[in-house]
C-alpha cells in the first residue's frame, strides 16, 4: 500500500507513525485505512491499542484547522476533536477518535431529539463566539461578514477569463454583475436585525457531527473551513442536508420541529415572527452568495483542474442558481 502513495502522503504517514510511537501508542499496523481522499482533504485512520487515531492533511489554505480546534477548545470549551500532534510544515495533524457520524446513526434510526441536541450545541457555540470573533479573524479565518460579502462576490465575478473558460458569454457575465446592488441591499437589510455575526461552518450538517456511542458526547468536526459570517448560513445548510439525506420535506412535522430547533436560540432577537421569517429568507439567498464565494476559495486552494477531475467544479451551476433565486425575489 505504501508504494502506491504519492510522495506527500507517504511523508505525512511516516511522520504520523514516528509521532504516534513517540507518544506511546502501539500501532496494530503501519498501514492506515483510507477514510477520505479528495483534493481538499486526505484523512486516514490508524488502529492502535488505545483506539483509533486519525491523520488529516489539507491544502495550505485550509491548514488552520488544528489552530481553530485549539482556540475553540481552550477559549470556548467547545466539543471539537482532541488534537494530539500537529505538523505545520506538512499541513497535517493527528486527532483522537470521537465516535460515529450522526448521519450514519440517523440512517439506521432517525433520532430527532439527538439531532436537535446537536443543533442546540452548535448554536450555543455560535452565540458564545459572537462577541470574540477577532480571535479568529486575527489568525486568518476568512471574513465573510455581511459588509464584506458584496466585495467578495464582486471579486469573484470579476474573474472574466475564468467565467468565459466555463462557457459564459459577456452578456451573461453582465447579468451576474447586475446582481451586486441586490446583494448589497440584502446584506444591509439582514444587518439591520440584531444578530451578531460569528463562526459559520458553511458545510455544517449531520455528517460533520460525531456521536460517542458510550458517552453520547457530540463533537463538531471539519472546523478548518469556518468563516465569520451570519449564523443562519450554517443552519440553513444543515436544514438542506437533512432534507436531502433523510427524505424530509418543508411540510413534514419532523422537519418543522428541526427547523424550530435551529432558530430557537435566536428568536429573542426579533420583535415579531415575521421579522425572523424575513431574516431566514434573506439569509437563504446570501447563503448562496457565501457558497459560490467559498467555491472560488476552494479553487484557489485545490486547483480548478483537480476539482473538475473530482466532479466538484460547480461554479456556473451555482451562479445560475443565484441568478434565478435573486431575480425571483422582490426587494422592498
pLDDT in tens, 237-262: 999 999 999 999 999 999 999 999 99
At 146 the pLDDT is 97
Query: Do 142 and 264 reside in the same domain of the chain?
Result: yes
Q: What is the C-alpha to C-alpha distance for residues 270 and 286, in angstroms, rounded to an integer?
A: 19
Query: Do 226 and 168 reside in the same domain of the chain?
Result: yes
- pLDDT-derived band at 82, boundaries 50, 70, 90: very high
Taking 70 as the threshold, does the pLDDT of residue 3 lie above it?
no
**Domain boundary pick from 96, 127, 150:** 96
Query: Do 84 and 127 reside in the same domain of the chain?
Result: no
Taking 60 as the threshold, does the pLDDT of residue 2 lie above it?
no
User: Does 173 map to a domain?
Assistant: yes
Q: What is the CATH number of the domain that holds 66?
A: 3.30.200.20
- pLDDT-derived band at 181, boundaries 50, 70, 90: very high
Q: What is the C-alpha to C-alpha distance for residues 232 and 100, in angstroms, rounded to an integer?
A: 26
Mean pLDDT of the region 192-213: 95
**Domain boundary pick from 50, 72, 96:** 96
Q: Which residue range forms the structural domain that includes residue 185?
A: 100-327
Query: Do 234 and 166 reside in the same domain of the chain?
Result: yes
- pTM of the entire predicted model: 0.94
Mean pLDDT of the region 51-71: 96
At 316 the pLDDT is 84
Classify the C-alpha dihedral 262-266-267-270 as positive or negative: negative
- pLDDT-derived band at 177, boundaries 50, 70, 90: very high
Q: How many domains does the chain have?
A: 2
pLDDT in tens, 110-159: 999 999 999 999 999 999 999 999 999 999 999 999 999 999 999 999 98
User: Does 87 map to a domain?
Assistant: yes
User: Does 332 map to a domain?
Assistant: no
CB contact set of 201 (below 8 Å; sequence gap of 6+):
122, 208, 220, 222, 223, 225, 226, 234
Label the pairing between strands 92-96 and 198-200. Answer: unpaired
Query: Do 76 and 122 reside in the same domain of the chain?
Result: no
Query: Do 319 and 206 reside in the same domain of the chain?
Result: yes
Query: Do 186 and 278 reside in the same domain of the chain?
Result: yes
Shortest CA distance to 225 belongs to which of 298, 280, 164? 298
Q: What's the whole-number average pLDDT of the chain?
A: 93
Amino acid at each position: 500500500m505504501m508504494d502506491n502513495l504519492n510522495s506527500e502522503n507517504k511523508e505525512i504517514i511516516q511522520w504520523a507513525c514516528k509521532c504516534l510511537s513517540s507518544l506511546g501508542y502501539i500501532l496494530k499496523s503501519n498501514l492506515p485505512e483510507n477514510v477520505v481522499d479528495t483534493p481538499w482533504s486526505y484523512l486516514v485512520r490508524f488502529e492502535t491499542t488505545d483506539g483509533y487515531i486519525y491523520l488529516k492533511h489539507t491544502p495550505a489554505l485550509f491548514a488552520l484547522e488544528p489552530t481553530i480546534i485549539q482556540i475553540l477548545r481552550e477559549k470556548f470549551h467547545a466539543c471539537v476533536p482532541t488534537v494530539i500532534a500537529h505538523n505545520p510544515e506538512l499541513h497535517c495533524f493527528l486527532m483522537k477518535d470521537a465516535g460515529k457520524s450522526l448521519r450514519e446513526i440517523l440512517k439506521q434510526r432517525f433520532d430527532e431529539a439527538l439531532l436537535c441536541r446537536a443543533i442546540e450545541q452548535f448554536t450555543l457555540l455560535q452565540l458564545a463566539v459572537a462577541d470574540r470573533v477577532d480571535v479568529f479573524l486575527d489568525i486568518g479565518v476568512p471574513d465573510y461578514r455581511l459588509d464584506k460579502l458584496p466585495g467578495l462576490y464582486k471579486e469573484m465575478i470579476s474573474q472574466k477569463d475564468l467565467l468565459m473558460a466555463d462557457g459564459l458569454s459577456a452578456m451573461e457575465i453582465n447579468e451576474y454583475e447586475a446582481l451586486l446592488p441586490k446583494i448589497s441591499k440584502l446584506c444591509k437589510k439582514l444587518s439591520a436585525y440584531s444578530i451578531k455575526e460569528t463562526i459559520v461552518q458553511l458545510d455544517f450538517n449531520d455528517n460533520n457531527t460525531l456521536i460517542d456511542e458510550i458517552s453520547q458526547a457530540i463533537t463538531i468536526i471539519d472546523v478548518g473551513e469556518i468563516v465569520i459570517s451570519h449564523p443562519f448560513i450554517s443552519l440553513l445548510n444543515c436544514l438542506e442536508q437533512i432534507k436531502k439525506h433523510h427524505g424530509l420535506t418543508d411540510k413534514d412535522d419532523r422537519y418543522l420541529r428541526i427547523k424550530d430547533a435551529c432558530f430557537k436560540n435566536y428568536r429573542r432577537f426579533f420583535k415579531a415572527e415575521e421579522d425572523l421569517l424575513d431574516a431566514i429568507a434573506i439569509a437563504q439567498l446570501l447563503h448562496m452568495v457565501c457558497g459560490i464565494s467559498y467555491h472560488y476559495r476552494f479553487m484557489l486552494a485545490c486547483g480548478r483542474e483537480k476539482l473538475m477531475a473530482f466532479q466538484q467544479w460547480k461554479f456556473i451551476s451555482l451562479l445560475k442558481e443565484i441568478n434565478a433565486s435573486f431575480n425571483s425575489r422582490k426587494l422592498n
